[in-house]
Structure 1
Amino acid sequence: MNDTFKHQGLRKKLVKVIKNKGITDEAVLNAIGKIPRHLFMDSGFLDHAYQDKAFPIAANQTISQPYTVAFQTELLNIKQGSKILEIGTGSGYQTAVLCELGAKVYSIERQNELFKKTSKFLPKLGYRAKKLIFGDGYIGLKEEAPYDGIIVTAGAPFVPKPLLSQLKIGGRLVIPVGDDVQVMTMFTRKGHKEFEKEEFGEFRFVPLLEDKN
């Protein structure tokens, strides 16, 4: 679990890269600068950990590009104590960013291999989600709703209705929508049945899988 001066220096460079791409939220930049991303990746990829790229992890999934993580996180507008639902725990890197920002994180992962690995690994780094759950992200986590924000870290072919219904008034759902290429989309809940929709350009994600278990 080494985090060397070299790693810290590479992180500083990474923060500059994503800042130059337009990320302005200082808290988000600080989180990216603090979290040892190389520990979330298989050792063979250590040299690539601080490039602004997505990389493969277990179960045919990826650890998202740092810029994408920062972009989605910035859209959520997290405050200390914000209640956030994450769909797709994956490597746990995005979870760690949310925890670093002081969010109360509830996270769902449907790949059992990743779920087991990440639920053991995150606490070792000092990141404790309120709940890590093995289950179906399409249905959200109703028993803990409503949420200040919901973040989906995989490409969804459509917007799952349960996720919209689990937002607080004023809450935000940040979700990449589409099949091959996704459009980063944010829904802000304005009323019981009223949502404002904004779109923020194209991204590429692994697909959000429905529960096949």
Structure 2
Amino acid sequence: MTTPPKRFPLPLSEVMTRRQRKAPVLDKASRASPAGAPPAAMTRGATSANQGNGKTPAVGSHSNLRAASTPMAGASARPAGAQTPHAVVPKGLARAASAPHAQPAPHNAKSAPKPVAKAHGAGAIHKGVTASGIAAKGTARGAAPSKVSTGGTARANAPVAVSSPDGIGLTSERVRARMAERVAASGVKHPGVLAALATVPRHGFVDAALANQAYEDAALPIGHGQTISKPSVVGRMIELLLASGRPLEKVLEIGTGCGYQAAVLSCVARDVYSIERVRPLHERAKANLRPLRVPNIRLHYGDGRLGLPAVAPFDGIVIAAAGLEIPDALVDQLAVGARLVAPVGGEQQILTLIERIGARQWRETQLDRVLFVPLKSGII
């Protein structure tokens, strides 16, 4: 009968040493296993290297996790020998286990981003950053701001881009409103005109290099020897048309330019007809007005001194250029009771109001000193 070999029990110190060797491996594998973490074989490889040199890691050691616990900003944290990125394990999360099958500790509030949580009120969310990156409205008492993970690190109260409903910079409604306030201070009081000036984005009608001056009360060059009129002058001329109390069903503008005054007129009139004699400016006005999708403006390329007899009579006519006299063709296209506003003169120009009070009767009133480009005939 064969006697089985004797099995000598291992000393307790050797048993504990082997457990301590295995514990960090199991602990790391169980804790570094969120989505994106490497398989356990990678971390075992790092531990087996320590076993081969005869060194035993101490209980509570974080030597194999420290590189992943404090990653450099903008860099991806990887364990020694790993080729694929894995989730960052916040410092203090992984602890050496006292038994081979220790369970991972739960994530606390400082180690992982929190989702947007609902407050006690139905449908209310706390003030923080949502998953879409836009600050959510509403607050919940006692709720801490949520964190957004960027580049593998979690930062509280990280700044995010918030789009303002009123726009930013030149697109801000407040910028246009301040311009309208300055026009009101210059003497324009009609609420419809001021509202129209506060609606039309003037910066969209000037060159990009002059956009920062778009909401100043100044005339700006638009090319081809032409200018965009001052907002106060635009408001003054349109206010004079409305002063009679006659509804502006059809309005004729002579000198479209960049299209700004036509856009303002479209806010107070049912239909706006505008004529431009310079082909590049006519095309530019169309391009400027197209994004606004204004349905009641009709642009024409032609000689403005001739007007549009096929569409006449008009309830108002505005001439945005100065001639030595007002063309008879335009005066004849006024409806009875309608008004025409135009600058008249050469070097010295006067803003003039023409009212048609009868079939063959007109009344002329000279108003303000102004400065416009000259009114010319023909097309170019």
Say whether the fold is shared (TM-score over 0.5): yes
The residue identity in structure 2 corresponding to 1:148 is D
Residue 121 of structure 1: how far off its partner (Å): 2.7
* Aligned equivalents of 2:297, 2:217: Cα separation in 1: 29
Instruction: Answer whether contact 1:73 1:98 (CA < 8 A) is retained.
Output: yes
The higher relative CO (CA closer than 8 Å, separation ≥ 6) is in 1
Instruction: Answer whether contact 2:255 2:277 (CA < 8 A) is retained.
Output: yes
Instruction: Answer whether contact 1:95 1:129 (CA < 8 A) is retained.
Output: no
- Bigger fraction of residues in helix: 1
Specify the alignment match of 1:72 in structure 2: 237
- Change over 3 Å in CA distance of 1:4–1:79 after alignment to 2: farther
* Aligned equivalents of 1:191, 1:169: Cα separation in 2: 6
Instruction: Answer whether contact 1:107 1:129 (CA < 8 A) is retained.
Output: no
Unpaired runs of 5+ residues, structure 2, are 1-165
Specify the alignment match of 2:309 in structure 1: 142
Residue 201 of structure 1: how far off its partner (Å): 1.5
Residue 119 of structure 1: how far off its partner (Å): 1.9
For the pair 1:178 / 2:178, whether they are aligned, the reply is no
Specify the alignment match of 2:364 in structure 1: 197
Instruction: Answer whether contact 2:250 2:269 (CA < 8 A) is retained.
Output: no
Residue 120 of structure 1: how far off its partner (Å): 3.2
* Aligned equivalents of 2:226, 2:294: Cα separation in 1: 21
Residue 124 of structure 1: how far off its partner (Å): 1.9
Specify the alignment match of 2:71 in structure 1: none
Larger radius of gyration: 2
* Aligned equivalents of 1:203, 1:133: Cα separation in 2: 26
* Aligned equivalents of 2:296, 2:346: Cα separation in 1: 30
The residue identity in structure 2 corresponding to 1:195 is W
* Aligned equivalents of 1:71, 1:205: Cα separation in 2: 14
Specify the alignment match of 2:322 in structure 1: 155
The residue identity in structure 1 corresponding to 2:336 is I
Specify the alignment match of 1:126 in structure 2: 293
Residue 176 of structure 1: how far off its partner (Å): 0.4
TM-score by length of 1: 0.94
What secondary structure does 2:310 align onto?
A: helix
Instruction: Answer whether contact 1:147 1:166 (CA < 8 A) is retained.
Output: yes
* Aligned equivalents of 2:251, 2:350: Cα separation in 1: 21
* Aligned equivalents of 1:187, 1:53: Cα separation in 2: 26
Aligned pairs (5 A) from 1:106-117: 106-117=273-284
* Aligned equivalents of 1:101, 1:126: Cα separation in 2: 16
Which residue of 189, 195, 201 corresponds with 1:36? 201
Residue 130 of structure 1: how far off its partner (Å): 4.5
The residue identity in structure 1 corresponding to 2:281 is L
Residue 9 of structure 1: how far off its partner (Å): 2.2
Specify the alignment match of 1:6 in structure 2: 169
What secondary structure does 2:192 align onto?
A: helix
Instruction: Answer whether contact 2:251 2:271 (CA < 8 A) is retained.
Output: yes
Residue 99 of structure 1: how far off its partner (Å): 0.6
For the pair 1:24 / 2:189, whether they are aligned, the reply is yes
Residue 177 of structure 1: how far off its partner (Å): 0.3
Residues 5-44 of structure 1 show CA distances to partners (whole Å, capped at 9, x for unaligned) of 3332221221111111110000000010111000000000
Unpaired runs of 5+ residues, structure 1, are none
The residue identity in structure 2 corresponding to 1:151 is V
What secondary structure does 2:238 align onto?
A: helix
Residues 75-112 of structure 1 show CA distances to partners (whole Å, capped at 9, x for unaligned) of 01176652100000001000000111133111100010
Output the aligned Cα RMSD. 1.6
Residue 58 of structure 1: how far off its partner (Å): 2.1
Q: Across the two proteins, how many residue pairs are aligned to each other?
A: 211
Instruction: Answer whether contact 1:79 1:101 (CA < 8 A) is retained.
Output: no
